[in-house]
Amino acid sequence: MLPLFAISTISISFCSGSSNVRCTQREKQALLRFKQDLNIGNSLRIASWNGDGDCCTWAGVACDNFTGHVHKLNLRNPYDDSLSYAFMWSMLVGKFNTLLDLKHLSYLDLSGNYFEAVQFPAFLGSMRKLKYLNLSLCGFVGMIPHQLGNLSHLQYLDLRPYYPSNLYVENSLWLSSLSLLKHLDMSGVDLSKASDLLPVINTLPFLEVLQLSYCQLHHFPPLPTVNFSSLTKLDLSYNLFDNSLIPSWVFRLSHLMYLDLYYSNIQGPIPDGLQNLTSLRYLALSHNHLNSSIPNWLYKFIHLEYLCLYNNSLVGVISEDIGNMTSINWLDLSLNGLKGKIPKSMGRLCNLRSVFLSCIELNQDVSEVLDIFSGCVADRLENVYLLSSQLSGLLSNQLGQFKSLVNLQLSVNLISGPIPASLGELSALRSLDLSFNKLNGSLSEIHFANLTGLYLFYVCGNSLMLNVSPSWVPPFQLQELGLRSCHVGSQIPLWVFSQKSLIYLDISNSGISSTIPSRFWESFPTLVYFNLSHNQIYGAMPNLTEAFELELFDLSSNNLLGPLPLIFPHMNALDLSDNAFSGSIFHFVCYRMNETKGMKILNLKNNQLFGELPDCWMNWKNLLVLNLGSNSFHGNFPNSLGMLSSLQSLHLRRNSLSGGIPASLKNSRDLNSLDIGENKFSGNVPMWIGETFTKLMILNLRIILMGSYQQNFAI
């Protein structure tokens, strides 16, 4: 027998003896060809790939220690959020090189990159040593080839397309050859024609993860026996099942820890069969039609960490037994028919991080809610959403106990009194919405003292007064600010101009009586939504041609005068109604004649605008709502208004327009509201109005009576 130290020496030598093994020239050239087919500007992650180096040392490449063959290629996009700028920037973009010379590859991950919407590569079926294959979010389109069935060693397969239904399967029989498969994710793949899917999946005895979200599945046949009983994760969300019941075979998956049936057309009571799944950690049944009370057995799920029953028709009360769910960290019962108070037993849920109880009738004092969560929950609670839950009473200084609070949403309740100064102690707070309550009193600098991470602050619809120093510089940089109906002073507060990242700003009905500062648009380069309506803002309106990001702008019900401002062509909604703008609108409507406007809603009613309506509306093809009522326009109805084929609402009431209704208006077939009353139109009402406008709900052709003379507009 060899001495122990000798065995150790042999073992060490065996494990390190291949340290000088280099990759083969053939595989190195295959990788270089792959790089060559990629967009160089986006390939910083493979900058180390060059002809002089050892490919085994390149980023994302791993080789076998003894043979030098490349066995792993991991070029996964490092950013998980597919909608983020960072994700888009870090994509590898280009053609999909065959990589066929990497014959020893067992691990291939190209997820989150983009290969120019080419057909799914069938050649992958010849890479028979693959155990791990992740091609999710890669831009491939078309039918998933049956050749993937040749990958008999495969244990992990993720084929999620970048857009749902870009990929489809007509016959899933090839999956039965992947008998070692443990992880299968085909979310977003169109499986509506794969009628054999469930029987095939039932042949995969080692399957642990099955994700089939957004797959256009409508029906699962019954299963006499369940062979994939090792399943721990099942996601069937966003499939509108025909039978409206959870398939009974789901209840036999005794090892299941994760079940997502979000938006699956499930109806009736919460099924009792779920109580067999005692290993559940994650249960999502939101956006269905469940109409029972919450069964008592659900409160016995002591291992459950995530429960989402959002947007159903559940009734009854939240039982005191909810205090038994001691592992829960995410609880969402919002938008149901539940009634009654938050039970005191919820104070025992020491792992609770997020609680969502919006749009249910709590009828509870907010100080009682804070008291319930003030024990072991207070140090950990991060998200509290109690919107429209009939909370009343005063916010107390207990609020300052919740040091981990990130998001607090208490809008549309009956909470009264002042906001406690302890708000300023919530240093982790990122968003706060107290809008549409009955709050009063002052907001001072102490309320914001430590809120360095705050990006959203809404207190709209309250009677609060901002009482801060003119030289105050907030510790935060907001993205969204809502101060509607608060008292901010006679001018836009100076501290608002320090917020360079604002995309949403609402200071409507706030007692502002000044002009718009000339530096305004320079101060808010990222502003998308801006509401200054119902103030006493006066003077001329500067042009908006430099407001490149602005999409929705509301300056209605002020005292602005002079000509209409020019706008940036891509603005979506503009409301300048109830002001004193005057003059022709020709320069406004016909600005940049050859450029299509993005405007969908334009409201200029109740001003002092006059002259003929210009005949260049053909550039406003996106308009849905146009209101030019209560001005002094005269002349004929312009033909180009009839080119607005998307128009749904047209209001020209109380002007002096004359002539007849042009036949070109027939193109606006989606009109549901047409108000051209109190003008000087003449002639007969065209018969085609009733025949063409089948969606019309409001029609006003009211005739003006001038003394004893009635305008000739026969109906």
Higher pLDDT among residues 10 and 360, named by residue: 360
Higher pLDDT among residues 118 and 539, named by residue: 539
Q: Is the pLDDT of residue 704 over 90?
A: no
Bridge partners (DSSP) listed for residue 467 = none
Bridge partners (DSSP) listed for residue 306 = 282, 330
Predicted confidence band at 405 (pLDDT cuts at 50, 70, 90)?
very high
User: What's the mean pLDDT when you consider all of the chain?
Assistant: 90
Higher pLDDT among residues 593 and 389, named by residue: 389
Per domain, the residue ranges of the chain are 584-715
**669-672 long-range Cβ contacts below 8 angstroms, 24+ apart:** 669/645, 669/693, 669/694, 669/695, 670/645, 670/646, 670/695, 671/647, 671/695, 671/696, 672/648, 672/696, 672/697, 672/698
Sort strands 282-284 and 289-290 into parallel, antiparallel or unpaired: unpaired
Predicted confidence band at 118 (pLDDT cuts at 50, 70, 90)?
confident
- Say what the pTM is: 0.87
The arithmetic mean of pLDDT across residues 86-105, rounded, is 83
Sort strands 552-554 and 258-260 into parallel, antiparallel or unpaired: unpaired
The arithmetic mean of pLDDT across residues 56-69, rounded, is 93
Higher pLDDT among residues 465 and 525, named by residue: 465
**Spatial separation of the C-alpha atoms in residues 393 and 386, rounded to whole Å:** 14
Q: Is the pLDDT of residue 126 over 90?
A: yes
Instruction: Quote the tokens at residue 235.
Output: 């996601």
Measured between alpha carbons, how far is residue 524 from residues 450, 457, 528 in Å? 24, 17, 9
Q: Is the pLDDT of residue 43 over 90?
A: no
The model's pLDDT over 165-214, given as tens digits with 9 standing for 90+, comes to 899 999 999 999 999 999 999 999 999 999 899 999 999 999 999 999 99
Give me the architecture of the 584-715 domain, per CATH: Alpha-Beta Horseshoe (3.80)
The model's pLDDT over 599-617, given as tens digits with 9 standing for 90+, comes to 999 999 999 999 999 999 9
The answer to whether 659 touches 637, Cβ cutoff 8 Å, is yes
Tally: H helices and E strands in the chain = 8, 47
The model's pLDDT over 318-339, given as tens digits with 9 standing for 90+, comes to 999 999 999 999 999 999 999 9
pLDDT at 703: 65
Q: Which helix (H) or strand (E) holds 19?
A: none
pLDDT at 705: 40
Predicted confidence band at 309 (pLDDT cuts at 50, 70, 90)?
very high
Q: What distance lies between CA 23 and its chain's CA centroid?
A: 45
The model's pLDDT over 487-498, given as tens digits with 9 standing for 90+, comes to 999 999 999 999
